[in-house]
Amino acid sequence: MLWNIAAVRIGVVCDEGAAGLRGLSLGEGVVFSSLHAGLVSVDPDQWMALRARKATDLLSIEPERIIDVMHGAMADSSSATASRSRASYTSHFDKAADTWGLQATRVSLSRFSGRGVRVAILDSGLDLHHPDFARRTIVSASFVTDDSVNDTNGHGTYCAGVACGPVSPWQGPRYGVASGADLYIGKIVDENGSGADGNMLAGIDWAVRRGCAVISLSVGTAVAPGESHSRVFEQVAARALAGGTLIVGAAGNTSLRPDCIAPVDHPANCPSIVAVTAVDSHLQIAPFSCGGVDQDGGVVDLAAPGVAVRSAWPQPALYRSSSGTSMASPYVAGIAALMVEADPSLRGRELRDRLRRAARPLALPARDVGAGLVQAP
């Protein structure tokens, strides 16, 4: 057993009611016969096995929530009420279960995996021999001259892990969102993490022509305050959107808050690209996160976990915890894949609009978090 924690209480909804629940051979608990539901205690192995189980009679499995009386809306981040509510929320992140980011975005509670949805990660490639991707459908291509798609930097493997890592990793807690999605890995930066617009454009073109529903970009360039967004990339992103491909981009890490808030990086500052900033486990904006401070584009659309986020890393390390808007962008991409699985008609603009509508509002300026914290279906 990898974890050393106490049993977890979970709620189970079963199609066959009490008989079905008893048939699962779980621990002690209570059955609500008329509701076809029950509350049982399971150990970590049972928890993982239940989540991996593909049973049509098991309709839902969720960790038991702690409930409190309503204190009021979190309208003021400086109020004692908001602080107390925030503390209550973050104290429920179980460090031994899924990563805090999966819990905060409700991925842990989602029954969707992104199955059948094509997600493109355009970055430094992928460690093709990483055990966590051994049984996945992966299509790959390199757009870096004389360089294979194998990841010799690490960043690409990390981002792919956040977006599409498995339910049951080789080691440690679950860290990935769309565990069932089809991965499209496009290498657009080299071992030093550097590339150029041309690599990125080629990668986007490749992903669009292959019918990817989502493209995650955690690469870019800082822009000067007041600098206009790229007309070339805006045209590309708008065409992709119209064709059913949503591009999600990291907002950038060049701020030094509170003294300096840098504008959203290129190309995430394009209006047709979903720009994602980073929050920490207290749902506060990360000090490095760029913001929507410019008039011409550069609007922040969503926030996602981006501080102390665990994900995959090339061998021999296998895993790493890191911080940055690079970590936040693939969260949104993975959750977009879950939404597409839930409703295949959601593509392009409709998908973007759904992501925004489903976000959890935060007691932070829209300049910093857009519509709020991305949430899974």
Instruction: For residue 127, give both structure tokens.
Output: 């460690």
**Cα 333 to Cα 345: distance, rounded to the nearest angstrom:** 17
Q: Is 36 a catalytic residue?
A: no
Task: Establish if 152 lies at the interface with other proteins (CB under 8 A).
Answer: no
Nearest CA-CA partner of 185 in 232, 238, 109, 123: 123
* Closest CB 92 distance from other proteins, rounded Å: 26
* Closest CB 210 distance from other proteins, rounded Å: 9
Q: Which is nearer to other proteins, 288 or 319 (CB)?
A: 288
Instruction: For residue 363, give both structure tokens.
Output: 């007691």
Q: Is 98 a catalytic residue?
A: no
* Closest CB 338 distance from other proteins, rounded Å: 23
Instruction: For residue 322, give both structure tokens.
Output: 């890191």
Interacting residue with other proteins among 325, 333, 355, 372 (CB under 8 A): 325
Task: Establish if 194 lies at the interface with other proteins (CB under 8 A).
Answer: yes
Interface size with other proteins, residues (CB under 8 A): 44
* DSSP 8-state secondary structure symbol assigned to residue 241: H
Task: Establish if 199 lies at the interface with other proteins (CB under 8 A).
Answer: yes
- Laid out side by side, the sheet with 118-123 consists of 138-142, 182-187, 118-123, 214-217, 246-250, 274-279, 302-305
Task: Establish if 227 lies at the interface with other proteins (CB under 8 A).
Answer: no
Nearest CA-CA partner of 371 in 300, 267, 273: 300
Give the contact letters, 83-122, x = binds to other proteins (CB under 8 A), - = no.
Answer: ----------------------------------------
Four-CA torsion 224, 228, 232, 234, nearest 10 degrees: 110
**Cα 161 to Cα 176: distance, rounded to the nearest angstrom:** 6
Task: Establish if 324 lies at the interface with other proteins (CB under 8 A).
Answer: yes
Q: Is 190 a catalytic residue?
A: no
Nearest CA-CA partner of 253 in 263, 244, 245: 263
Contacting residues toward other proteins, per CB under 8 A:
123-124, 153, 155, 188-189, 193-202, 204-206, 208-209, 218-221, 230-232, 235-236, 239-240, 250, 252-253, 265-266, 286, 288, 322-326
